A = this chain, B = another copy of it.
Amino acid sequence: MNWVNELAAIVAVESTGVARAGHASDVSGHEAVWPDAVALPVSAGEVAAVLSWANDRRIAVTPWGAGSSVEGNPIPVKGGICLSLERMNRVKEIRLGDRLAVVEAGTKYRELNRQLAGSGWQFAVEIGGDATIGGMIANNAAGPKAVKYGSTKAHVLGLEVALADGRLIRTGGRAWKQSCGYNLTQLFAGSEGTLGVITEAIVKLTPAPAVREVVAARFGSVRAAVDCLGELRRLDAGAIEFLDRSYMEFLGEVVADTLFCEFHTAGHGEAAERICRAGGAESVERAGEELWRARLRAYTASQEANPGARLLTTDTAVPLGAFGEMVEFLQQELATRRLTGYLLGHAGDGNLHVILPWRSAAEWAAVEAFHGAAVRKSMELGGTASGEHGVGMGKREFLAAEHGEGAVAVMRMMKQMLDPRGVLNPGKVLPSQNVTYANGE
């Protein structure tokens, strides 16, 4: 790879096997692909320089945050450059009076919250992985707290973005209210690094809740649990999670269809207890941190319990009222197809995951077929193939079915316009791009 030396004149590059292997896969079951080289810029200028050069040379560039994505989003499927933002990890400004922080894209959200500890403020999105804020914006990650705070996209005031050809632009700004021109911020948010590389973000800060009341309610049926959701959603809920009986069994907890909720207003925990008891809960208790941590560790726990297996994770989100029907459908499908799957979800906003381990081609075919059935059912109910993991590699095939060919044609135009040579994160979001890259040379 002669071009790696050229690249090394622009930016710090690592091309050892260790470095390449460490940037070849995320936590999904998608196959690892090594990049030819890992670029480690320390500034937006260096990111821009790498892109300008790679665009000229037609070398594939896959942006990398922390590699904690769940849908293959940062896997460099065409090789080329892994553009890691890990050295751009400075919290540049914390402005409590303006309720915002300015961070480099490679800043971990937990690091920002560590710096905010004790201030009464937080970056309000909380997810399982130790992700970077740039990656969370690019994937529009969400997690359990989204029922109260919305997905990551709702927390972005402005961005600095390096375009495919190396131009640096700024979108949005520091005002909380903006209605001045096309919303480029929200175009790049959720575009998974296929339209540009986020180098810096202005993010909202949110008051940290002063109260935290946690309630676990166990039900004899999915339907009984789901029937409580409407009333629970009217409380000041910071999270309304659902864990099905088989997943609780897997965790070694009491086997029951379980709602696990967090409330941020004093007395709302008690109100939730009343709602769940009236709704026929078999037991209701103030649960501690333990079950919460177990919930956040769902993915790694599934991995640990199935050594050697890969995982496929479904990410459907349906209209709120259809959540129960979706859960029952998936439980039924798992049973009929005799598949092992851990079913858990963000009941508060209709988002449901099934984590399915697989080991062989035959098992892959089976979980893949289940996935297709889940997505079709979600769409039939008016839902989406992806609530929070993004399209990545595994949801591309559903894009047209969900949005229609018309909308996908517009998405293609966006891609064509912003990345005409197709160098940015190839093989993600949009199906079948026919580009030949020079990085094999």
Give the residues in chain B near A179, CB-CB below 8 Å.
Answer: 139-142, 151, 190, 315, 384, 386-391
CB-CB < 8 A to A182: which residues of B? 187, 190-191, 195, 410-411, 414, 429
In the assembled complex, the CB of A335 is this many whole angstroms from the nearest CB of chain B, namely 25
B265 near A175 with CB under 8 A, answer: no
Task: Specify the chain B residue showing the minimal Cβ separation from A378.
Answer: B175
Chain B CB within 8 A of A413 CB: yes
Give chain A's interface residue range (CB within 8 Å of chain B).
Answer: 35 or more
- CB within 8 Å of B: which A360-386 residues: 378, 382-386
B195 touches A98 (CB 8 A): no
Asked if A153 lies at the interface with its beta carbon under 8 angstroms from chain B, I say: yes
Within the assembled complex, what's the spacing in Å between the Cα atoms of A248 and B336? Answer: 70
- Bound state CA distance, A187 and B181, in angstroms? 10
> In the bound complex, how far is the Cα of B366 from the Cα of A314, in angstroms?
60
Bound-state CA distance A178–B382 (Å) is 12
Which residues of A from 376 to 424 have beta carbons under 8 Å from B? 378, 382-391, 395, 398-399, 402-404, 406-411, 413-414, 417-418
CB of A30 within 8 Å of the partner chain? no
Residue from the list B139, B171, B321 in contact with A98, Cβ < 8 A: B321
Task: Given the known inter-chain contacts A175-B319, A207-B234, please indicate yes or no for A180 contacting B385, CB distance below 8 A.
Answer: yes
Nearest-neighbor residue (CB-CB) of A385 within chain B: B180
* Complex interface: chain B residues within 8 A of A24 (CB): none
Q: How far is the CB of A398 from chain B (nearest CB, A)?
A: 8
In the assembled complex, A19 has its CB within 8 A of some CB on chain B: no
| Contact pick for A349, options B95, B146, B176, B408, CB 8 Å | B176
Residues of B within 8 A of A230 (CB): 97
A228 to chain B, nearest CB (A): 13
The copy count of this chain in the complex is: 2
B383 near A174: Cβ-Cβ < 8 Å: yes
A382 to B100 CA separation, bound complex (whole angstroms): 12
> Which residues of chain A in 310-325 are interfacial with respect to chain B, using CB atoms and an 8 Å cutoff?
315, 317-322
Q: Is the pair A175, B407 in contact by a Cβ cutoff of 8 Å?
A: no
B100, B167, B173, B388: the one within 8 Å of A406 (CB): B167
Say whether A99 faces chain B, with CB atoms less than 8 Å apart: yes
Cβ A410 vs Cβ B176 within 8 A: no
Chain B neighbourhood of A391, CB < 8 A: 179-181
A178 in contact with B386 given A97-B320, A184-B407, A265-B265 (CB within 8 Å): yes
Residue A344 lies at the interface, judged by CB distance under 8 Å to chain B: no
Residue A298 is within 8 A (CB to CB) of chain B in the complex: no
* Docked pose: A180 CA to B174 CA in angstroms: 27
Across the interface, A387 reaches (CB within 8 A) one of B177, B317, B321, B410, namely B177
Contact partner, A317, options B141, B171, B176, B389, Cβ 8 Å: B176
Given contacts A97-B321, A182-B195, contact A175 B406 (CB under 8 A): no
A175 → chain B closest CB, angstroms: 4
Given contacts A139-B179, A176-B319, A177-B351, 8 further A-B pairs with CB under 8 A are: A146-B177, A175-B318, A177-B388, A180-B395, A181-B391, A181-B407, A182-B414, A183-B189
- Residue pairs across A and B with Cβ atoms less than 8 A apart, 16 shown, are A140-B179, A151-B177, A173-B384, A174-B382, A174-B383, A175-B317, A175-B318, A175-B351, A175-B384, A177-B388, A178-B387, A181-B402, A182-B187, A186-B186, A187-B187, A410-B418
